[in-house]
Amino acid sequence: MEKVYLTKLAPNCGCAAKVGPGTLAGVLCGLPKFQDPHLLVGTETSDDAAVYKISDEIAMIQTLDFFTPVADDPYDFGQIAAANALSDVYAMGGEPKTALNIVAFPKDMDTAILGEILKGGADKVLEAGAVLAGGHTIQDDTPKYGLSVTGFVHPDKFWKNYGAQTGDKLILTKPLGAGIINTAIKADLVSERAREAVLKSMKTLNKYACEILKKYTIHACTDVTGFGLGGHGTEMAEGSNKTLVIDTQALPVLPDVEEYASMGLIPGGAYRNREFAAKTGYISTAELWREDLVFDPQTSGGLLAAVPAEEAEEILKELKELLLPCAVIGEVIDREEHTLLIR
pLDDT for residue 8 is more than 90: no
Q: What is the structure's pLDDT at 11?
A: 67
Taking Cα atoms as reference points, which of 92, 97, 61, 106 lies closest to residue 161? 92
Binding residues for Mg(2+): 48, 88, 223
pLDDT for residue 43 is more than 80: no
- List the end-to-end C-alpha distance of the chain, in Å, as a whole number: 49
Are the CB atoms for 250 and 330 separated by under 8 Å?
yes
Give the integer Cα–Cα distance in Å for 86 and 93.
12
Give the integer Cα–Cα distance in Å for 92 and 151.
10
Report which DSSP code applies to 300: S
pLDDT in tens, 198-217: 999 999 999 999 999 999 99
Q: What is the structure's pLDDT at 186?
A: 85
Binding residues: 18, 45-48, 65, 88, 135-137, 223
Which listed CATH number (3.40.1780.10, 3.90.650.10, 2.60.40.10, 3.40.50.261) goes with 169-342?
Answer: 3.90.650.10
Domain with CATH 3.90.650.10 in the chain: 169-342
Q: What is the structure's pLDDT at 320?
A: 92
pLDDT for residue 29 is more than 70: no
pLDDT for residue 34 is more than 80: no
CATH code for the part of the protein at 6-153: 3.30.1330.10
Helix ranges (H only) for the chain are 21-28, 74-91, 111-128, 178-186, 192-203, 207-213, 228-240, 257-262, 268-280, 288-295, 309-321
User: To the nearest whole number, what is the mean pLDDT of the chain?
Assistant: 92
pLDDT confidence bin for 159, thresholds 50/70/90: very high
pLDDT in tens, 186-196: 888 999 999 99
Per annotation, catalytic residue among 13, 15, 210, 326: 15
Q: What is the structure's pLDDT at 324?
A: 86
Is 15 designated active site? yes
Domain with CATH 3.30.1330.10 in the chain: 6-153
pLDDT in tens, 288-322: 999 999 999 999 999 999 999 999 999 999 999 98
Binding residues for ATP: 18, 45-47, 65, 88, 135-137
Task: Give 261-288 as a 3 state SS string.
Answer: HHCCCCCHHHHHHHHHHHHHCEEECCCH
Q: What is the structure's pLDDT at 105?
A: 95
